[in-house]
A and B are shown apart, each in its own frame.
Chain A
Amino acid sequence: MGGQPLYLEPRLELRLRSLLDSPDLLHTLTDALGSPLNLVVPDQLADNLEQFRSVYGKHHLSGQVFLAHKANRSSALLRRLAATDAGVDVASLGELQHALGAGFTPDRITATGPKNPEFLWLAARASVTVSLDGRGELDQLATLVRKHALPRARILLRLSGFEASGVRVLSRRSRFGTAVGELDALLEAVERHADVVDLVGVAYHLDTTSFTEKATALEGCLRVLEECRSRGLRPRSVDIGGGFGANYLADGGQWERYTTELTEAVLGTRPPLTYGGHGYGLRSEGGTLRGTLGLYPAHRPVAGAAYLDELLAHPAASLGGRPLAALLLEHLYDLHTEPGRALLDQCGLTLTKVLEVRDQEADGPLAVRLAAKADDVALEEHGVLMDPVVVPRAPAGVGTVAEPVAVHLFGSRCLESDLITRRTVFLPRRPEPGDLLVFANTAGYCMDFHATRAQHQPVARKVAAWQEGDTWRWCLDDQYWPTTPVGGAQ
């Protein structure tokens, strides 16, 4: 097998751990509903929200936490969230209908992203706040409101292209939002449409894990809001988007060991760790490592609400070095956030059944074929490397010693590239056909965002589960309402 098994064990909080300790339930579910099967845990979402709220509380900030709906299509999760005081960020007509239908009142919904006329009309009709990409969209909205005699629309302006003084940050270009440099024309348009729109604030979303870039953007927003106030507008919020991240792995040491060994495998100083010697963006040129590791930092000690906390404590370099939270508070602004992955942390599992286990070349990894396509478990799509948990069908026989094995995980499509992961995965015991491989923490972007019906293969069904006392209860995702756990599904 080539040295020690390089595990990347998933981080499991109480609920997911308890589910994985219920093999009978998991097998009953997949026997009845098929593989793959997605399982969501709505109550966890409410707990995660509390963590974000407590960071707000610590910094005395008011404002709303909006779940980025696109991270998961689940009705159960959305309805459970509707039963809290959080909001939802919708990015399509369907998502907006879903949110309204789940019980979100318009004041708890923000419409973002590229919009078609129907989406824009329903958003304006229902009086949800609309985050506008630029002047074109503003004009479009204003026309719509006048033509259809809709109520005044509450708008946010999405900004981009923030600049720091002194040091130029080579941020990735965003195709969304209006560059701060072109602000004047946009604000003039807002003033021109003052009869039909109310500017409630500004927004940004940066695709980066870097605190300094986000801090620069937030400082830029404060300056823009000041400009708005000096024009007599009355904005009162900043929406800083999401991107707070999740910590997928239980053990930072495993992650460090794995990435070091991967580097060495790419350099050829140890046997390959991937199918076909894939380097995840790294390559060897004359013994020197080149390229960039294209992986999500799966072990992230500071993620989710803790990341927000650290961002808020970050000093604003261009505004006297006071922490960003203090500046927001002093300027009397509300802080809006749109976490997706972070709010759905530990909110679900994807169950897949083992169809076949085949020996390949001697001493090489086993070939394990799953009843699932790569797009059903989109961890790899997001660069997240994390081991599945083996849930055996039959309890281990007396006296059998579990030996670690290396495996390659193949999907069920008739396609060379249908690999669940290109990584050689180490499992603590050899899986057998009928066993389940369970992928933890897939609720954020890894359940249905990428899933297709290619080859007439089914997409995963979704089940919502909750605890009553020591017992897990469940129902189909679209059968779940906040009344279900209390009254029972009948």
Chain B
Amino acid sequence: MRYDSITEAIGNTPLVRIDPAVHGLRHIDLYAKLELLNPFGSVKDRAAWNMARPHLAAAADQGGQVVELSSGNTAKALAVLAGMHGLTFKSVTNRMRIPEIKDLLLLLGAEIEELPGQSECLDPTATDDPLTLFHRSLSEPDSTYLHTDQYFNSRNTEAHFTGTGPEIVKDLEGRAPDWFIACVGTAGSSTGVARALREHDPAVRVAGLVAAKSDFIPGIRTIDEAHEVGLFDPATYDTIETVSADEAIEGMLTLNRRCGILAGPTGGAAYFGAIRQLQAADAQLTERQSAVFIVCDRVESYLSYVRRRRPELFGRPMRRNSPADVSDAETRTAPAIGIADAQAWIGTGEPLVVDLRSPYAYAALHIDGSVNIVDELFEELLHGGLPFSHNRPVLLACPVGEKSARYAALLTRMGHPDVRSLTGGIIAWRDAGAPLVRD
């Protein structure tokens, strides 16, 4: 397929049937609408393009800037679209909790402004909260901002009413599914698709999914946050259910590992919520029904999010010579040397002094003649074996003598005959009045 512009590749995403052996539903065909296959990576490509398109040319003439309150996929799509049209893009957000997305936005040339955390000494009468100031700056008379306003812009919903919804009907041979399950973020996709499907068949049941209040799932709002969204109308949904972050990741893993669909946690939440919703209905059914859920975006951007919640998924094989293998007893009995003796020993010129602190700290002040190998790097080196010859005595130094003792024990275990830890570390060295230098 040949296109003149990448924007033509937005939409017309596949509708893929989930293997019944995976979902276990006996009477319901479950389909995933693969919005992750949009060119910039998510369902938001449609809304971003539909909202920005009519204004891009005029904004480019004025040298304007596209702005949006977005912490993720809308920002990503808008950053690309702005760049393609010679505009800059700024995202203002207090929800940017995914480091990979933040980095990607910076890579794409976006400017990011983060709203500050809540005030600790609250002034209940304060009127100058940063979000209010932001809105004020948008409406200044000479403003050249193109604010796409995704939470209130009806063109967000429209993109799905004219695109995503009809595509689903077309792919189901002109029928609307019996069920539609979607996560509520801007409410644009769920509202637009629901409206399109219901025009076809008013009996379509629509389930909205929100995040549990104390939880965080990227791209999904909690019920309170949903109320802040202009496009959100509770009447759109037959039910509104809650999903937890753990459930979202569980759903995501099923899609990733068993269905070949590299969905992110939002898609995982939709899958999990869909199965939970449909299981009850399935037990009562005799005829066949169909259900559709949306896979919003891809897994790759969420590795740190998943790692924080499910570290065991990233379990790496044990590596030899790791300081973690050294017992506390070994550490306590590791060869060590006090400050005065260490000074005398260094004076003989024999030992190599290795400072395990970070390069910044080393640069600021260190023992004269020492070598800086930051502990992370030292650990890497030791996996490969002893980095010193046996006949070279070594004095290890860290801030308080704890890490150095652990490494001294490890090096001893690895067969080094004369390694010692500086007791009390650089801090004790300083407190004893021993000299520290800067180079």
Contact = CB atoms under 8 A, between A and B. Distances in A.
Given A170-B115, A208-B120, A229-B438, A292 B129 contact: yes
A292 B227 contact: no
B100 interface: no
Given A166-B106, A288-B232, A289-B228, A383 B361 contact: no
Interface stretch (A34-42, A145-153, A320-328): A320-328
A171 interface: yes
Interface stretch (A88-96, A255-263, A411-419): A255-263
Contact of B224 (A210, A259, A330): A259
B20 interface: no
Contacts of A208: 116-120
B124 A263 contact: no
Given A209-B120, A256-B214, A259-B224, A332 B399 contact: yes
B130 to A, nearest CB: 5
A167 B114 contact: yes
Given A167-B112, A209-B120, A260 B230 contact: no
A243 interface: yes
Interface in B211-235: 213-214, 223-224, 227-230, 232-233
| Interface of B (DSSP majority class) | loop
Given A297-B118, A330-B399, A290 B228 contact: yes
Interface string B89-125: 0001000100000100010000111111111111010
B200 interface: no
Nearest to B363: A226
B361 A292 contact: no
Interface string B344-365: 0000000000000111111011
A232 B362 CA distance: 17
B131 interface: yes
Nearest to B120: A243
Contacts of B119: 172, 207-209
A322 B119 CA distance: 27
Most interface-central of A167, A263, A320 (chain B CB within 10 A) = A167
A172 B116 contact: yes
B358 A329 contact: no
Interface residues of B, number: 52
A381 interface: yes
B400 interface: yes
B365 to A, nearest CB: 7
A352 B112 CA distance: 49
Contact of B126 (A245, A286, A294): A294
A433 interface: no
B358 A288 contact: no
A385 B362 CA distance: 48
B358 A330 contact: yes
B116 A213 contact: yes
Contacts of B120: 207-209, 242-243, 245, 341
Contacts of A229: 364-365, 438
Contacts of B227: 263-264, 267, 288-289
Interface in B358-379: 358-362, 364-365, 374
B426 interface: yes
Contact of B430 (A281, A295, A332, A445): A332
Nearest to B112: A167
B438 A383 contact: no
Contacts of A167: 96, 102, 106, 112-114
B402 interface: yes
B55 to A, nearest CB: 23
A64 B399 CA distance: 18
B255 to A, nearest CB: 29
B112 A168 contact: yes
A17 interface: no
A288 B122 contact: no
Contacts of B414: none
Interface of B: 92, 96, 102, 106, 111-122, 124, 126, 129-134, 152, 213-214, 223-224, 227-230, 232-233, 357-362, 364-365, 374, 398-400, 402, 426-427, 430, 438
Given A320-B374, A445-B121, 8 more contacts: A166-B102, A167-B96, A170-B92, A208-B116, A212-B114, A242-B120, A259-B213, A330-B360
Interface of A: 60, 62, 166-172, 207-213, 222, 226, 229-230, 242-243, 245, 252, 256, 259-260, 263-264, 267, 280-281, 286-290, 292, 294-297, 319-320, 322, 326-327, 329-332, 341, 380-383, 445
* Across the A-B interface, the 4 shortest Cβ-Cβ residue pairs: A210-B117, A330-B361, A330-B357, A243-B120
27 contacts: A60-B402, A166-B102, A167-B114, A170-B113, A172-B116, A172-B119, A208-B117, A210-B117, A212-B114, A212-B117, A229-B364, A252-B214, A267-B227, A288-B152, A288-B229, A292-B132, A294-B124, A320-B359, A320-B360, A329-B427, A330-B357, A330-B358, A330-B361, A331-B361, A332-B361, A332-B399, A381-B124
